[in-house]
Chains A and B, each alone.
Chain A
């Protein structure tokens, strides 16, 4: 079985972002970029499944400008077998990304597609669900545990939902999106980083995949959220209670 994993290059989770003064977006120049944390978890899970003997190959795919190749190299260093870079010079809506992944799935025929549940830049949480819809496959989103049966026909997935944990059983091929507690991604070791340099990364375009760009959403502007009034430090529990009661009126 082959596993396809989509990985996105995003602003690093620890960076304090700045909104551009012209309100066209967030400043990403000279800012640290990394693989989206949820995508790392997705890749890690795919690698574990391969290491357990359930999959023969893990293919990482990234869609975006040439710097995506760095993200793919990190994925290859973690252990993916090969990478696919779909070139795109503008950022696409999740629906277009989903169509690209659908086309790739039709070529690669994976038994599983793993994605992070959301990207920490746009926080959309849509792409995995859309890929599943376009392929007509079952979906198991917000996964915190994935167990494959020995015949690789069924995945039993625990999902993090509002009320707690829900367990689903899905027939393969299926799309799984990963949540935080699914696993702890490995660090790429130096020998693996070196090995990764010779693993292949195939370049593809939207024309190759016969995908039309969907643009039914326009960004009007990007702004800063309203700032909270700065607070005060109190010096005792008595003072705190007094303020909560008589100033804030919340107790």
Chain B
């Protein structure tokens, strides 16, 4: 019996779920994967980590539909939706939830929204990037659905089998989802790079649908409110996707000195990173922190100056293609992972590098 015929039979005769032999129930039948992705957007376009999540969704199985869920309000939401429709050829549809409730991404209304959307579409998988947005929201949704999510997936082995890092990436855990609800994942975007899209695929546009929120019940008095934010407005590339990352540790000793790191990053067209120690000491803001509980980076070139190489920092840089370390201490653990190590004083090395490095291509 083809899937189409069975589906028609099911909808026509309103089978009670328990009457269907397990092997024929819709969720088990499909090799057909239907994925809902919680999308992030900013200033009218989809964030890079959402596109990585689309790439990941594409590897869940053959024949899959990918729906991007965007929420927000105002013109930037609709601009983002338009951009989302052609951000990747694998996207089948863009769902738009336009409401003041979603002006800022709060977990409580978002979780209810995902549950609301899920009830209207059969999704075998629900994904988000393991960004602070995804990490904040997806587990809340999972608990509402009584599903154990799998967070920070670095490899997809099949529609139900995944690899995720544990112990700060010092071990890898292969897990299999065996539940009956949708399989829910957060995706580590550095593990699913986006390859440049060919011109013909770019012309493929997904459908854009506005979600009817008239039946969406969210508490009229919200128990959680956005107050404000302090973010760095910078022209430098985003840490999570930069080709080059230059990181400074506590050895930089001051905010002033950290400017050397910034100059070097600028020369190489890279992003600036920092260790926990440097952030704790106040040399740089927290969003530059690289490590187990900060940002995970996987650039082509990672250069660490005055960084000792604690386990928790290394967790954030292991997938870098080339790691360079400069430290006065020849015994610093960072030298064990560096491809090229230079034992020396960063206050001498950095100016010399600035002088001698070729300009970025």
A240 within 8 A of B: yes
A-chain residues with CB within 8 Å of residue B144 when the two chains form the complex: 133
Main secondary structure of the interface of B (DSSP, over half): mixed
Q: Which of B149, B227, B343 contacts A169 (CB 8 A)?
A: B227
B-chain residues with CB within 8 Å of residue A118 when the two chains form the complex: 293
**How many residue pairs at the A-B interface have CB separations less than 8 Å?**
252
**B108 x A138 contact (CB < 8 A):** yes
A166 to B226, CA, bound (A): 8
A190 within 8 A of B: no
A107 within 8 A of B: no
- Interface-lining segment among B30-38, B203-211, B320-328: B320-328
A168 to B223, CA, bound (A): 10
**B279 x A93 contact (CB < 8 A):** no
**A167 x B150 contact (CB < 8 A):** no
**A232 x B228 contact (CB < 8 A):** no
A231 to B339, CA, bound (A): 4
A-chain residues with CB within 8 Å of residue B358 when the two chains form the complex: 245, 251
> What class of interface size applies to chain B in its complex with A?
35 or more
A221 within 8 A of B: yes
Output the least CB separation between A170 and chain B (Å).
Answer: 5
Q: A95-B148, A129-B107, A163-B231 are in contact. Are A181 and B287 (CB under 8 A)?
A: no
B-chain residues with CB within 8 Å of residue A169 when the two chains form the complex: 224-225, 227
Q: A225-B318, A231-B341 are in contact. Are A139 and B148 (CB under 8 A)?
A: no
B-chain residues with CB within 8 Å of residue A132 when the two chains form the complex: 107, 140
- In chain A, positions 206-251 with a C-beta closer than 8 Å to chain B are 214-225, 228-238, 240-241, 243-245, 248, 250-251
Interface string of A154-189 (1 = CB under 8 A from B): 001001111111111111001000011100000000
B5 within 8 A of A: no
Main secondary structure of the interface of A (DSSP, over half): mixed
**A251 x B228 contact (CB < 8 A):** no
B230 within 8 A of A: yes
B220 within 8 A of A: no
B10 within 8 A of A: no
**A126 x B142 contact (CB < 8 A):** yes
**B175 x A219 contact (CB < 8 A):** yes
- Interface-lining segment among A11-19, A57-65, A69-77: A11-19
**A133 x B148 contact (CB < 8 A):** no
A179 to B132, CA, bound (A): 12
Q: Which residue of B lies closest to A137 (CB)?
A: B223
Q: Which of B107, B146, B178, B295 contacts A218 (CB 8 A)?
A: B178
Output the least CB separation between A1 and chain B (Å).
Answer: 16
**B131 x A162 contact (CB < 8 A):** yes
9 nearest interchain CB pairs?
Answer: A216-B179, A133-B143, A130-B143, A129-B139, A138-B224, A126-B139, A164-B231, A163-B231, A161-B132
A sample of 16 more A-B contacts (CB under 8 A), given A125-B152, A248-B321, is A13-B312, A94-B139, A123-B168, A125-B135, A141-B136, A142-B136, A144-B286, A160-B132, A162-B287, A166-B226, A214-B146, A224-B172, A231-B340, A232-B341, A234-B341, A251-B301
